[in-house]
Amino acid sequence: MYTPRAFALEDLSELQQLIQHTRLAQLVTVGEQGLQASHLPLLLNPDEGPDGTLYGHLAKANPQWKDLQNGSEALVIFAGAEAYISPSFYPAKAEHGKVVPTWNYIAVHAYGRAEVFTDAERLLGVVSALTDRHEGSRAQPWKVSDAPADYIEGMLKAIVGFALPIERLIGKRKLSQNRSAADIAGVREGLAASVDVRDQTLARFIPQGVPE
């Protein structure tokens, strides 16, 4: 990921926080069938390894797990808030007109080589943890144990789990840090006034004050 210095995010705790706040990641591998990608919910154990370890699972019918088994380096993309930035947001537009559109966004790329596993007990642990994470905010959370044990046993046989120790992390926050303080404020105000909730979300990340 091309990351100019002004947009680089290098603090490990912030990188891990962004990973944990991303509900659906993209797993990208390359193998005999070329490039493959899957959209997956993942778990991060931040304390396992220098940069943490990612856990997830793929359908056994999905051939991508063979890329992981064969030792292919995997790229996992965690895409955060994003929004189109109109030149109309910048006070500089009225001053000299030398402005163009861009896109602001937050993203983390994690790289590593995964261990693949099919052990039922280990798979159950991953599936249960994922379920608890995404059911936790519900008034009556569903649990894996709510389903018949023989049914869950059969479902576990249809998936392949993986643990991916993170070997490399690249983080980027492109939030108009390379603009003047006035233009940054204009971007924040323009996004906050949008009717699109995605724009409003990104507005909360736009820095306050004079850029460094």
Q: What is the pLDDT of residue 117?
A: 98
Q: What is the pLDDT of residue 95?
A: 76
Q: What is the pLDDT of residue 40?
A: 97
pTM for the whole structure: 0.92
CA distance readout (Å), 89 to 49, 100, 155, 159: 43, 11, 51, 48
What pLDDT digit, counting tens, does each position of 54-103 carry?
Answer: 999 999 999 999 999 999 899 999 999 999 999 999 997 777 877 899 99
Evaluated on CA atoms 7, 195, 20, 65, the torsion sign reads negative
The phi-psi region of residue 146 (left if phi > 0; otherwise alpha if psi is between -120 and 50; otherwise beta) is alpha
CA atoms within 13 A on the CB side of 210: 1
Q: What is the pLDDT of residue 212?
A: 47
Give the pair of three-digit tokens for residue 121.
């007990």
What amino acid is encoded at 133 in this protein? R
Burial of 79 from C-beta contacts in 10 A (0-12 / 13-18 / 19+)? middle
Over residues 143-159, mean pLDDT: 96
Q: Name the average pLDDT for the chain.
A: 94
What pLDDT digit, counting tens, does each position of 95-142 carry?
Answer: 787 789 999 999 999 999 999 999 999 999 999 999 999 999 999 999
β-strands 53-59, 34-40: how paired?
unpaired
CA distance readout (Å), 38 to 111, 118, 133, 194, 208: 15, 19, 20, 32, 36
Residue 163 has pLDDT above 90, yes or no: yes
% of the chain with per-residue pLDDT over 90: 92
pLDDT band at 198 (very low <50, low <70, confident <90, very high): very high
Q: How far apart are CA 192 and CA 187, in angstroms?
A: 8
Give kind and range of the element (H or E) at residue 174: strand 168-174
| H helix and E strand count, the chain | 7, 10
